[in-house]
Amino acid sequence: MKLKVCGMKYNPGEVAALQPDYLGFIFWEPSARNFVGEIPELPTTIKKFGVFVDASIKTVLDKVITYDLGAVQLHGKENAGYCKAIRDNIQKEGFEIIKVFSVNEDFDFGTLKDYEDVCDYFLFDTKGKLPGGNGYTFDWSLLNDYPSKKPFFLSGGIGLESMEKLKDFLKSPASTYCHAIDVNSKFETKPGLKKTEALRAFKAQLIENRLIKTDNRS
């Protein structure tokens, strides 16, 4: 199991010192977490995500080059053809495409089928007013109906208070293909400014409960 911290803006260097597996930077202007400026040099063990919402393919490609991104997270209505175009245009070793799906009780898991061959991971978040960072958790038992073997990220309102729920989820069949836990708004003093001590405590609890390993490898 791996750990991703998303919505980085003001203190990515401090968070990187905690050695999460992934750091996510949002490139969507309406977001309060929209990232501008330079990303500090990060340890090579951390993969940089760029988060996009219905951006032009050129915009995505430009950001990948500018920020040397190792992955893109597509948080809008991007179709499978769009994902394939990104794949075809980025010939970078180890580069990953993550497609986000917002889940509620009406979500149709059949939607995933078209994306199976053009994405490396899925990410399941809570369906809300905005694409991500809403601070609410969806009903993880809905993932009992997950029809795929594609590894996925679990996101949406996960915080320190979620530990017991996470432990129960990760013992359930629904977690079989859960690759990583994605955290964001529950660890902020304001959008984009992360509470490093809370993140440190969260990671320590994940390690203590053997949900992730100390060497960050699942």
Domain boundaries, the chain: 2-208
Q: Rounded to an integer, what distance in angstroms lies between the CA atom of residue 65 and that of residue 180?
A: 25
Residue 121 CA: distances (Å) to CA of 31, 51, 197:
23, 14, 29
- pLDDT mean for each 10 residues of the chain (218 residues): 96 96 96 95 95 97 96 96 95 94 91 96 80 71 93 94 94 94 95 97 94 61
**Separation between Cα atoms, residue 27 and residue 75, nearest integer Å:** 11
Predicted pLDDT of residue 109: 94
**Residue 216: what pLDDT?**
46
Count other Cβ atoms within 10 Å, centred on residue 149.
Answer: 8
- Look at residues 166, 163, 70 and name the one whose alpha carbon lies nearest to residue 120: 70
Output the pLDDT for position 131. Answer: 58
**Residue listed under structure tokens 């939607």:** 111
pTM of the model: 0.92
HEC secondary structure over 30-51: CCCCECCCCCCCCCCCCEEEEE
For the segment(s) 2-208, the CATH number from 3.30.420.340, 3.20.20.70, 3.40.50.720, 3.50.50.60 is 3.20.20.70
d(CA 164, CA 199): 16
Helices (H), 145-210: 163-170, 196-208
pLDDT at 41: 94
**pLDDT score recorded for residue 217:** 42
With contact defined as beta carbons under 8 Å apart, do 55 and 77 qualify?
no
Q: Quote the distance between the C-alpha of residue 87 and its chain's center.
A: 18
State how far the alpha carbon of 208 is from the alpha carbons of 71, 99, 142, 161, 163, in Å. Answer: 29, 30, 27, 15, 11
Q: Check residue 128 and give its pLDDT.
A: 60
